[in-house]
Amino acid sequence: MKISVIGGGSAYTPGLVEGLIKIHQEVPYRELCLMDIDAPKLKTVTAIVRKIVSETLPEVKVSSTLDRIEAIKGSAFILCQIRVGGLAGRVLDERIPLKYQVIGQETVGPGGFAMALRTLPEMYAIAQDIKEYAPDAWLINYSNPSGMVAAMLAKYTDINAISICDVPIGVQHYIATLLKLPREQVKLDYVGLNHLGWFRKVFVDGKDIMPMLEDMARTTDILAMLPGEDDKTLHESEMMLRIFKKLGVIPSSYLQYYYLTRESLDAQLAAAKTRGEVVQGIEKELLAHFEDVAQHEDAHLWKSRGGQWHSELMVGITSAIYNDTGQEYVINVINKGCVPGMDPEACVEIPCLIDKRGVRPLHVDRPGTDMLGLMQLVAAYETLTVETAMEQDYNKALRALNLNPLVPSLEVAEKILNEYIEAHGDFITLK
C-alpha cells in the first residue's frame, strides 16, 4: 500500500509522518511518497522524514517527487495539505483588506475568499488526476478553505474525498485536558460551517457538563490551566472565553471575527506583522532546523511546528476507512437535511461516522435562530464563491465578496477584489 502526501514539503509533514508511524500496524502501508512543487523545501523535509521512518519502520520506502501524477499513481490514500500561492499569497490576502479597515485573515472574510479563488481550481485539477490515475484512492483534504473545497469536490467531481478541519478536535482536546480525561471520553454536540461553528453541549459519560464548564469559566483561570500554549492560541482561547461567558455556548475560535469584529480588527491594525508574516518567520526557522537535524544521527531531535491535531485527525480518518471502524469525527459534508433550517445543498460541518464507505453524516438539532441566520448567510456567500472559482466570473466574484458579512460595502468589496486580482497575478483570473 502507498500513501502520498501532496504538499509534502510542509513544515507540518514530519508531525504527520509520526502519526502515520503510529498507525502502521492498523494500516500496513509499504511506501510514503512526499510530493511538492517547492524542490528545496521538499528535499529538506524528505531528509528528516527518511531518518524518522528508517529508525522505526525500515521496511517502509520513503520517496519524493515534484510530479503530482507520479505521487498519485498507485496510492490508496492521498493526504493533501497545499497552499496555492504559498505564504506570500497569505500575506497579500491579509494585508489588502486591512487597508480598507476590514478583517485580514487567512480563511475568514476577504482573505478566505481570495484563498478559495486560488485553491479550488487546483483542487479540482488534483481530483481529475486522481480520477484518472488512482480512481479507487481516498483523498483526505486538509487544505483550506476546507469547507469550500468539500463543496466543490462534491458538486464538480465524483472521487472518494473527505475534507477536514482540526478546530473541533482541538477544542475536544482542550476540554479533555481541563477535565483530566482522555479525549475519546468527551463527546461534543457541534454544529456549523467550516471555521464557523458552536459547541452547544459537552457530554462525559452521557451527561451534559456544559453547566459545569460555565461555572469553571466564571470562577477559574482556565487559560492558566492550558499547557504551554503559544501567544496565538492563548489569544484565541481568551476571545472564545469572552464569547462563552456572554452566550453560554462554546464558539469556534474563528467566531471572534464575527462576534468581536471591532476588537479583532483593532488588534490586527495594531500588530507589527500579519499572522502570515509571523508564520513566514516560523517556517524559515523550522526549515533551517530541519536541515540541521537531518545531519545528526538522532532524528527525534526535531521540533514540531505544532499541528498534532492535524496529524491525529488525518491518520485517524485513514485508519477508520481502512479498518471500517465507524469512528466519529466532525467533517465537512453536504447537508442533505442533517441540519434543519439549512439548504440541503449547503456544506455544513457536523459529526459523522467514518468507515470504508466514507462519510455517514449524523442528524443534529436545529441551530438557534442567531446561529442559523449567520450560517445561512455565510453558506450563501460560500456557494457563490465556489461558483466564482470554477466559472472565473468577475461579476459573480463581486457579488460573492459583497455578501460576506465582514465586508462593509459594495464599493469596498470592489476595491479589495481588484487589488487581489492585480496582486495575485495568474493565481486569480476572472473574466
Cell numbers standing for residue 11: 513544515
Q: Which three cell numbers stand for residue 396?
A: 459573480
CA distance linking residue 339 with residue 343, whole number of Å: 9
Q: DSSP class of residue 367?
A: P
Q: What is the dihedral of CA 334, 115, 264, 371, to 10 degrees?
A: -10
Are the C-beta atoms of 175 and 166 separated by less than 8 Å?
no
Bridging pattern class, strands 186-193 and 160-163: unpaired
Rounded CA gap, 317 and 314, in Å?
5
Selecting among 142, 254, 381, 420, the annotated active-site residue is 254
CA dist 428 and 275 (Å) reads 22
Yes or no: say if 234 and 226 are a contact pair by the CB < 8 Å rule: yes
Bond before 110 cis per omega within 30 degrees? no
Q: Which residue has the cell 538522532?
A: 298
Confirm if 336 and 361 have CB atoms less than 8 A apart. Answer: yes
DSSP E strand boundaries for 247-290: 250-251
DSSP classification of residue 246: H
Residue 189's SS3 state is strand
Specify the DSSP element, H or E, that contains 285.
helix 275-294
- The three-state secondary structure class of 90 is helix
State how far the Cα of 330 lies from the Cα of 186, in Å rounded to an integer: 13
Please, which residues have CB within 8 angstroms of residue 330's CB and are 6 or more apart in sequence? 165, 168, 169, 188, 190, 349, 350, 351, 352
Query: Could you give the CA distance from residue 194 to residue 17 in angstroms, rounded to a whole number?
Result: 25
Please check whether residue 221 is in contact with residue 377, taking contact to mean a CB–CB distance below 8 angstroms.
no
Q: Would residue 254 show up in a list of annotated catalytic residues for this protein?
A: yes
The residue assigned the cell 491579509 is 94
281 to 87, 93, 122, 273, 402: CA distances (angstroms): 10, 17, 26, 11, 33
Where in the sequence numbering do the catalytic residues fall? 254
